[in-house]
Structure 1
């Protein structure tokens, strides 16, 4: 959790490709069926990578930290996350594709990759969203919560960095601290799970959370989208949590139309907050029809953010190509490797290439002026494709190299030991 998150301010995480997200030496090259292309982000439980399967499926692959893999408490949290996410299906959530098995050394899960910036990245780059985009974001996130709650799950960590802005609608991601309905919470005594600027009063006080807690977080997130800041801010996490419990939200900069929607959601009493269904029906039919039309046809984002979303897709493609080229340059080619063993270059029948200095061609196993073969030249792309230079069968015998003349000046050896 970043300090800005704890203050209730801007959350700069996001999961889009950015500078400095290339794989490091300690990162795996492959997880399950996914070739890893780069790092998307990291959190308290693990790292998130961009992966590509053999069938061309892009995925966000989340891997549990190695040092936590043996901790049974963290294992339960990870398995709970996986179980919770696999039960959710809906247009505005990222679907689970695959996951680790019991025999795997690492614990991981792969979800649908969404090309686009996070809400925190978009607001930081382009400023608060306009009212029409806010209403579309509102309806999309309500649709996501409707799917999540229908599966008996509470997200518990709805915040700007967990909302991705795709061209065909927002996506709510990361069920890292979600709780299955009826499950026992794994929160230790005195430990609070969540981000203070987007937590409900009941969560801050350590009480059981529910769907109404997600409604509170949704209102905080929309306030951020409309103003660039959360409704409760403070100098430190404790100050933020105090304001969440005791103070009224700061909605002075929120457009009146949006403020009328989110103000009931920020009630201190969870039972007084409207449900997701009530919030969906709160907009007039004509307004809902227009906003849903924009969502359905991918016209809901401002042009600047749509351009950034397309740039994310292009960046991922170029990123993938760079990763492929670096792997090809670093990996030695062995005969029989069907995936990367192209046919060796051939020499036309009856022809032999001659070095420019007129010396005889080098036989296999020699290099340059007679020294040992140093191996493939890493600067020559063709040298990576074969180990030896094939010679034609009818090549004439190599000329005899004359004996070195300096031997005549050595005295003849007389006698034996």
Structure 2
């Protein structure tokens, strides 16, 4: 599938938001927007519940309804899942044979495709071209080691990341040597990047990917491939019969790609031979740039960082024409079993404890309702008055009447601190008693009673 093509900026543009016809969730991925589309389907940016971004590719319905194609797709996807390498986008998840939609999720690479970068910034410099060459050779080495032929290596299937290029889209790859399920007379690939044996006989092998790699590197160096044209049949004719025009390619790059464009697949060098083709000193410098993320021009790297910020903002935009999802539900209205609802504050419940009756009797004046008083305070060295005229509790060791207790100084306010008694909030007030009854138990501050 081709990535989004936008010559003015890198990454999703204003037309990349989800439409009402787009799904909002595929498998475990919440879809955030469109990354691109092609002849096989659409590519969306998805985010899993664990915060993993992925490129989710959903195939067209007519392809999913074709049982033979579904069988081939699942077979090739299982093969692609075996590929592991730094310069390939790993397959993360996929749908099963019985699902309504055919889909696969691969690692999301936050960078432009090669055709986007060349369209926006022009041909790449020689150091960047050499780094691109080594990175793509590393990707093909991983793919071929898994017994797979890519069959559609082209600029839109090469993504540029700070730590190196990524070769993506194994949607039409096939197991090397396996029986093809493709219909008779059907050509699989992109004109201009197909090897002669693919055009003539429909045969693909590792050497076919080497031919496509050379065409891709020439595009990166000049902005055009070796067999350009508007008529696909004319382009394929030149692939089979004409020599490539390498006059505008830098000499150092020409020496690398010329043997790869041989019409005879047996005459093309293998991937390990191409890796060792660069001089050791040249390979050392290019490997250093790749290892430290310095292989891309500064202009592309700045755009990539801006793009990462735009994707974060893009993540928070609700799909156009869709209402906001209810709490605990997906945007399509289905309940989300992984999401619970909660309130920051629990709902207030009525207090079942009965409020005490605050009506008290004061002598002969009858009942009077009064508010609860503040907790009483006593001075240090003072004893609280006992109810109903009973004798007071004996003084404690720190009471004023105790032997050895410090004598409070009336002139010093600090020595007359008050203490709040820990009484229950609903305790009724103490009965009022005549002052002369309990006053005699208070110590006389002048030393007399």
* TM-score using structure 1 length: 0.76
Distance (Å, rounded) in 2 between the aligned partners of 1:245 and 1:325: 47
Distance (Å, rounded) in 1 between the aligned partners of 2:298 and 2:311: 20
Are positions 1:89 and 2:84 aligned together? yes
Shift of residue 189 of structure 1? Answer: 2.2
Cα–Cα, structure 1 residues 270 and 15, in superposed 2: closer, same or farther, change >3 Å? farther
Partner of 1:170: 165
Q: 3-state DSSP class of the match of 2:16?
A: coil
Which stretch of the first structure deviates more once superposed, 338-347 or 107-116? 338-347
Shift of residue 284 of structure 1? Answer: 0.5
Are positions 1:251 and 2:246 aligned together? yes
Are positions 1:199 and 2:162 aligned together? no
Distance (Å, rounded) in 2 between the aligned partners of 1:188 and 1:326: 40
> 1:109-155, CA deviations, whole angstroms, 9 ceiling, x for partnerless residues?
11100000000000000000000000000000000000000001000
Q: 3-state DSSP class of the match of 1:254?
A: coil
Equivalent residues of 1:45, 1:74 under 8 A apart: no
Distance (Å, rounded) in 1 between the aligned partners of 2:266 and 2:17: 46
Partner of 2:324: 330
Equivalent residues of 2:29, 2:49 under 8 A apart: yes
Distance (Å, rounded) in 1 between the aligned partners of 2:230 and 2:320: 47
Cα–Cα, structure 1 residues 198 and 179, in superposed 2: closer, same or farther, change >3 Å? same
Q: 3-state DSSP class of the match of 1:234?
A: coil
Q: 3-state DSSP class of the match of 1:209?
A: coil
Distance (Å, rounded) in 2 between the aligned partners of 1:155 and 1:19: 32
- Unaligned 5+ segments in structure 2 are 330-334, 349-449
Partner of 2:267: 272
Are positions 1:316 and 2:311 aligned together? yes
Cα–Cα, structure 1 residues 324 and 55, in superposed 2: closer, same or farther, change >3 Å? farther
Shift of residue 334 of structure 1? Answer: 7.2
Are positions 1:146 and 2:144 aligned together? no
Partner of 2:44: 49
Shift of residue 333 of structure 1? Answer: 4.2
Q: CA RMSD in A?
A: 2.9
Partner of 1:104: 99
Distance (Å, rounded) in 1 between the aligned partners of 2:340 and 2:119: 43
Partner of 1:180: 175
Q: 3-state DSSP class of the match of 2:343?
A: coil
Partner of 2:63: 68
**Aligned match of 1:208 in 193, 203, 206?**
203
Equivalent residues of 2:164, 2:290 under 8 A apart: yes
Shift of residue 54 of structure 1? Answer: 0.5
Equivalent residues of 1:192, 1:206 under 8 A apart: no
Distance (Å, rounded) in 2 between the aligned partners of 1:256 and 1:11: 30
Q: 3-state DSSP class of the match of 1:222?
A: helix
Distance (Å, rounded) in 2 between the aligned partners of 1:333 and 1:12: 36
Distance (Å, rounded) in 2 between the aligned partners of 1:256 and 1:83: 41
Distance (Å, rounded) in 2 between the aligned partners of 1:258 and 1:32: 44
Are positions 1:156 and 2:151 aligned together? yes
Equivalent residues of 1:165, 1:309 under 8 A apart: no
Equivalent residues of 2:197, 2:203 under 8 A apart: yes
Shift of residue 82 of structure 1? Answer: 1.1
Shift of residue 156 of structure 1? Answer: 0.4
Shift of residue 209 of structure 1? Answer: 1.0
Equivalent residues of 1:12, 1:161 under 8 A apart: no
Q: 3-state DSSP class of the match of 1:245?
A: helix
Are positions 1:22 and 2:17 aligned together? yes
Q: 3-state DSSP class of the match of 2:106?
A: strand
Distance (Å, rounded) in 2 between the aligned partners of 1:292 and 1:163: 19
Cα–Cα, structure 1 residues 135 and 334, in superposed 2: closer, same or farther, change >3 Å? closer
Whose radius of gyration is greater, 1 or 2? Answer: 2
Matches within 5 A, 1:282-361: 282-323=277-318, 330-333=324-327, 339=339, 341=341, 343=343
Shift of residue 315 of structure 1? Answer: 1.6
Equivalent residues of 2:19, 2:319 under 8 A apart: no
Shift of residue 316 of structure 1? Answer: 1.3
Shift of residue 252 of structure 1? Answer: 0.7
